[in-house]
Amino acid sequence: MKKVLSIALVSTMALTAIAATSNTAQAAVSLDSNHVQVEAGDTYKSIAAANGISIAELEQANGREVGGFDLIFPGETITLPGATATTQATDTNTAATEAADTTAQTTDTTTQDTAQQTQATTQSAAQTQSTSTGTSQGTFKISFYDPAVLGSNMGYSGVAANLSVFPKGTTLKITLSDGTVLIRTVNDTGTFAYSNPNQLDVAMPNNQIPSYGVTTASVEVL
């Protein structure tokens, strides 16, 4: 009889201890709107219920396996789902801003390139319309090159020539075989022109260079 009473007494004390533990468990302490700190007795279930979210959402926000065993300790910081959403939104906005900046830079570069080509076209057109006459130098072989492609900033008003034939600064009127007239000033000597006294290398934007590439022209000194 005493043994039965002892067992009953021990069971009653154990149940009382469990109940006391449950009653003294504190809710997780809120650190800010997106984070809470675990207190003794907290579980993912109690934290989720206290914040009006599902256990699965809480597990996902903290990188846990959904439905897995969620072991947490007092003092641990738990992230609420709202924080994850805010971070993702911030990342998205940052990416969008960077993309907009890149687009703006690309647009500026394209605008500059277009302006340079327009200027070159205007210069070429003005020179083509020129009806100036000068001293004939005969017929020369004509090739074309784009200084910008070679990394040069010399522009498109020049022509490379053999400097023993046409010194630097000489202004030439070049009439191509198709009738196009170009006015160019000797400002350089290229490999072809240097080794071929009867050849001129005319500066011109790539998109304006004739498809035939090499031609002949009558040349006059103005």
Q: What is the pLDDT of residues 30-55, one digit of tens each?
A: 888 889 999 998 998 999 998 999 99
Domain range list for the chain: 2-79, 127-221
What three-state secondary structure class fits 77?
Answer: strand
CA distance 171 to 169: 6
CATH topology of domain 127-221: Barwin-like endoglucanases (2.40.40)
Which pLDDT belongs to residue 90? 58
Q: How many residues does the chain have?
A: 222
Equal CATH topology for 2-79 and 127-221: no
CA atoms within 13 A on the CB side of 134: 17
Query: What's CA 113's distance to the chain center, in Å?
Result: 18
95-154: per-residue pLDDT in tens?
A: 777 776 666 676 666 667 777 776 766 665 555 554 557 899 999 999 898 888 888 888
Answer whether residue 5 shows pLDDT above 70: no
- Whether pTM exceeds 0.75: no
Write phi, then psi, for 153 (nearest 5 degrees). Answer: -110, 25
Distant-in-sequence, close-in-space partners of 160: CB < 8 Å, separation ≥ 6: 145, 186, 187, 188, 189, 190, 192, 193, 200, 201, 202, 203
CATH tag, 2-79: 3.10.350.10
